[in-house]
Amino acid sequence: MATPEPPLLTMSGITKSFPGVRALDGVDLEVRAGEVHCLLGQNGAGKSTLIKVLAGAHQPDDGTITWRGEQVTLTSPVAAMRLGIATIYQELDLVAGLSVAENVFLGHEPTTAGFVVRRTSARTATAALLRRLGHPEIDPARAVGELPAAQRQIVSMARALSHDVRLIVMDEPSAALDPDETANLFRIVTDLTADGVAVVHISHRLEEIRRIGDRVTVLKDGRAVAGGLPAKDTPTRDIVAMMTGRNVEYVFPERPSVPAAPTRPPVLRVEGLTRQGEFAPVDLKLRPGEIVGLAGLVGSGRSEILETIYGARRPTAGRVLVDGRPLRPGSVRAAVRAGLGLAPEERKAQGLLLLESVTRNVSVSSLSRFSRGGWLDRTAERAAARTATRELSLRPDNPDARIRTLSGGNQQKAVLARWLLRGCRVLLLDEPTRGVDVGARAELYAVIRRLADDGLAVLLVSSEVPEVLGLADRVLVLREGHVVHTAPARELDEHRVLDLVMEGSPTP
Amino acid sequence: MTQPAPVTTAEPPVGEAAGRPPLGLRADVRNLSLLGVLAVLIAVGGITRPDQFLDTSNLQLVLTQASVIGVVTVGMTFVITSGGIDLSVGAIVALASVWATTVATQEYGFAGILFTAVVVGLGCGLVNGLLIAYGGMVPFIATLAMLASARGLALQITDGKTQIVTVQSVLDLGVPDAYILGIPPLVLVFAAVTVIGWLLLNRTTFGRRTVAVGGNAEAARLAGIDVRRQRLYLYLLSGLCCGIAAFLLIVLAGSGQNTNGNLYELDAIAAAIIGGTLLSGGRGTIVGSVLGVLVFTTITNIFALNNLQSDVQQIAKGAIIVAAVLVQRRTARGAAEA
């Protein structure tokens, strides 16, 4: 059981400061050959900084790194790569316009005479790597930009393996994957570790850590609060407590004892809404005070339905009615004017003005309310934005703070505040807790429920089934663009939903 | 809502926000440094040509020259802030200036010239805006095409000849008798355009939408902003500024020429960029742009007074652009890492 051989990697006392913030404050991390070492911590705990130090992208201010018994300095990403440390970042760093093979061998192409790329041998080698990864169907000659997210992840893995790699760092690899793809990824990880490769795995999902992790290191506020815990046996509440300093699991707010009065006329009606190739006709009624969830895998058409209701995509058939009046199809402005609001899936890319302050992010949809003849009343704007953000307990309580500096949960609150300020009546939430840490999720759930209690109608999309079941009153289960089941959330459980999602047949 | 927000200073935001000057202040710091550059330049001018540089008529000349490109730069600043680019400004100035000085137009006198210049500018801006906002063309390509066509049309109208202005009331605007408290009317127009531009960008919904579209067009669209209409308006605005600049140029030169406004697009973009407007959009500063214009115009003037050729001027301009952008990058990187 006890191995006398020294650990593959030992980081000790790693410290890294940026102007105004100490990101790492003496972190220790020990990784053994052939293990899956999970790194856990809330957003801002220092995970990203730590792996950047390990990848040679950041230089630590203090501390030592020992690699296979020898002290090393990782002066650059190339230096880390040479030692056999490969990092797969959350935002995959692939070049969309280059082929799969070109991406895999980017920077270390097999060459003739030092500069002529041997394309055939690069492709052959790439094909071999892809087979090893269980994805022989990916064509090495295809442009990476044409591949779906899951396959890009595989290409990133192939790139890592194209080096003589001993340690792979994966930053939330499963965030964009559905369960099937995740399972495949984990199979690959198991194969790799059997060959003695070590994996440092960062994830928000505790169940994943149980599945493939060997040991866990928990980071909090730039320190390792626990190192080398057994991944399988450490109780969840202990881990959550270490991450948050609190004892919280996913806590869902209570549903109102009396469900949203079915007598109230629906505020949103969706009739036969269809988009060719994306989803089959969807019918849906949403009453004020009600939270309806859409459950389904990535690619089941959840986000597409939401965006089509919102007018960001043009339906091929069907219509959306608000208060019985049909919306102009394919017009976001018509939807917003009628009282719809969307918290999009890609918060940073689709939701936020990252260079701007909280106030300006909140007020952007209500500018005409603070203007007379186009002239802005900035005092009123700031005050109203502040009222809205306070209502949601957004932190920091500073309307001039840059949105970029906020945590994921607070950025999401700013998006909600935007629609609250606008006086929206139907809130469409696409993955509202993506990138939001465990502690902040419960608070966000409470906020969403409270908004519903105040009379908002909420349509919720989430790839986390417990979230949909815990938060929604009624759930629509989607499979490949078809609604296969509709039921009150309390009549469903996770297994039933997963069954439907995998096996269910479309209702006629 | 009735209760005023208590004046508690918000606790210092956690993490990377701490110890950072509040929003907007850094733009002011950059403006200050540009003011410093300008002060140095004035000192250099005063020392190398003490007799000429600080002479009132020379300063009037510098400001007048700055006015034409300055008005163009204000429009350009809006376009760049929205994430776009307008390469056609110089060509539009040329086309507007020759169309407004044809024999036929001059028959309508002062109003005819002014009206034509503005309408031609707006017309070109409308075409740019429609192609970009509703035709889905990339701004670089659409305005490049406009650059070529407008220059071609300007040449066709003039047949390469200089069109002398005979309308006395127009010419009168440029003579010292027309100066108000020693300030040439052209400079007053520039000042007015600057003030209106500043208010438009910083105090109106139009300005706020411009910044939002430039910062994140998709987020702006999903927030309910009509991004396409906003883009159309922005190129119209740039065209309008070109029309006004063309009129100023007609007054200044007393003529219209198809070679007018040569390389204005580069001067305007350069002035906006060294002023601190982000080429990628999402942040723009009118004050910075105007300071940028003044820096460039002053350099040109000093070089001319010292009998240095325009080749040396061009090299110096290039060096300044590089220096300013390097400083910007350092500031930006500091912000990203902080």
Give pLDDT tens digits for B125-135. Answer: 999 999 999 99
Distance CA A141, CA A124 (A): 10
DSSP state of A42: -
In tens, the pLDDT along A146-157 reads 888 778 888 888
Stretch among A247-251, A264-268, A486-490, B199-203 having the lowest mean pLDDT: A247-251
Cα B10 from Cα B19, distance rounded (Å): 13
Distance from C-alpha of B213 to C-alpha of B132, rounded to nearest angstrom: 14
Q: Which tokens hold the place of A332?
A: 């976001």
Separation between Cα atoms, residue A413 and residue A175, nearest integer Å: 21
Looking at chain A, which residue has its C-alpha nearest residue B216? A353
Cross-strand pairs, A476: A294, A486
Q: How far apart are CA A480 and CA A79, in angstroms?
A: 45
| B78 or A241, higher pLDDT | B78
Q: Say yes or no: A17 contacts chain B, CB-CB below 8 A.
A: no
Residue window 413-432, chain A: list those with CB within 8 Å of chain B.
418, 422
What is the overall mean pLDDT for chain A?
86
A474 and B CB contact within 8 Å: no
Residues 27-56 of A with CB under 8 A from B: 44
Contact yes or no for B219 and A349 at CB 8 A: yes
Q: What does the alpha-carbon distance between residue B197 and residue B193 come to, in Å, rounded to a whole number?
A: 6
CA distance A490 to chain B (A): 33
Query: Are residues A357 and B23, on separate chains, in Cβ contact within 8 Å?
Result: yes
The C-alpha atoms of residue A295 and residue A483 are separated, in whole angstroms, by: 9
| Residue count (chain B) | 338
B334 pLDDT more than 90: no
Contacts of B10 in chain A (CB under 8 A): 396-398, 400-401
The verdict on A374 touching B (C-beta cutoff 8 Å) is yes
Q: What pLDDT score was predicted for residue B74?
A: 98
| DSSP codes, B134-187 | IS---HHHHHHHHHHHHHHHHHHHHTT--EE---HHHHHTTSGGG-BTTB-HHH
pLDDT above 80: residue A439: no
CA–CA dist A289, A221 (Å, integer): 38
Q: Which residues of B touch A351 (CB under 8 A)?
A: 219, 222
Query: What are the strands of the beta sheet with A279-286, ordered from one edge?
Result: A279-286, A268-275, A317-322, A325-326
A106-115, long-range: CB within 8 Å, 24+ apart, which pairs? A106/A159, A107/A78, A108/A162, A108/A163
Using DSSP's 3-state secondary structure scheme, residue A295 falls into strand
> What pLDDT does residue A418 have?
96
Mean of pLDDT over chain B: 88
Give whole-number Cα distances, B259 to B66, B101, B301, in Å.
18, 14, 21
Contact between B223 and A397 using a beta-carbon 8 Å cutoff:
no
pLDDT bin (cut points 50, 70, 90) of residue A248 is very low
Contact at CB, A18 and B338, closer than 8 angstroms: yes
Q: Which of B69, B32, B322 is nearest to B40 (CA)?
A: B32
The residue with greater pLDDT, A296 or B190, is: B190
Query: Do the Cβ atoms of B278 and B115 come closer than 8 Å?
Result: no
According to DSSP, the β-strands at A198-202 and A167-171 are parallel
CB A283 within 8 A of CB A317: no
Asked if the model's pLDDT at residue B7 lies above 60, the reply is no
User: Residue with structure tokens 């465990």?
Assistant: A438
| Surface of A (380-399) touching B: CB under 8 A | 383-384, 386-387, 395-398
Contact A336 B224 (CB under 8 A): yes
Q: Is the four-CA dihedral A43, A407, B216, B292 of positive or negative sign?
A: negative
Q: Is A61 on the interface with B (CB under 8 A)?
A: no
Which element (helix H / strand E) includes B203?
A: helix B185-203
pLDDT of residue A249: 52
- C-alpha distance from A24 to closest chain B C-alpha (Å): 12
For B57-96, b/e burial (b = at least 16 CB within 10 A) is ebbbbbbbbbbbbbbbbbbbbbbbbbbbbbbbbbbbbbbb
Q: Please answer yes or no on whether B216 and A310 come within 8 Å at the CB atom.
A: no
Residue A45 has pLDDT above 60, yes or no: yes
- Residues in A touching B215 (Cβ below 8 Å): 353-356
Query: Least CB-CB distance to A354: which of B14, B205, B215?
Result: B215
d(CA A485, CA A507): 8
Dihedral Cα A471, A476, A478, A481, nearest 10 deg: -120
> Are A332 and B221 inside 8 Å of each other by CB?
yes
Q: Looking at CA atoms only, how far is residue A149 from chain B in angstroms?
A: 20
pLDDT digits (tens, 9 = 90+) for B170-204: 999 988 889 999 999 999 999 999 999 999 999 99
> What local confidence, expressed as pLDDT, does residue A142 receive?
92
Q: Residue A301: enclosing H or E segment and its boundaries? A: none
Q: Phi and psi for A267 in degrees, rounded to 5?
A: -85, -35
Q: Which residue has the tokens 């909090």?
A: A220
Query: pLDDT digits over A402-417, tens only?
Result: 998 888 889 999 999 9
Put simply, the answer to whether B1 touches A367 (Cβ < 8 Å) is no
Strand A167-171 to A85-88 pairing: parallel
CB contacts < 8 A, A to B, total 125
Smallest CA-to-CA distance from B264 within B121, B137, B165, B123 is with B121
Cα distance between residue A398 and residue B17, in whole Å:
11
Chain B residues whose beta carbon lies within 8 Å of the beta carbon of residue A396: 10-14, 17
Q: Which residues of A touch B219 (CB under 8 A)?
A: 344, 349-353
Please name which of B85, B77, B92, B74 lies closest in space to residue B139, comparing C-alpha atoms.
B85
Taken in order A476, A172, A157, A304, the sign of the CA dihedral is positive
| Chain B, nearest residue to A361 by Cα | B212
CB-CB under 8 Å, B22 with A400: yes
> Which residues from chain A sit within 8 angstroms of residue B209, using beta carbons?
367
H helix or E strand, kind and range, residue A424: none
In a mutational test of the B interface, the residue from A49, A364, A389, A410 whose CB has the highest number of chain B CBs within 10 Å is A364
Structure-token match 């940026």, residue found: A18
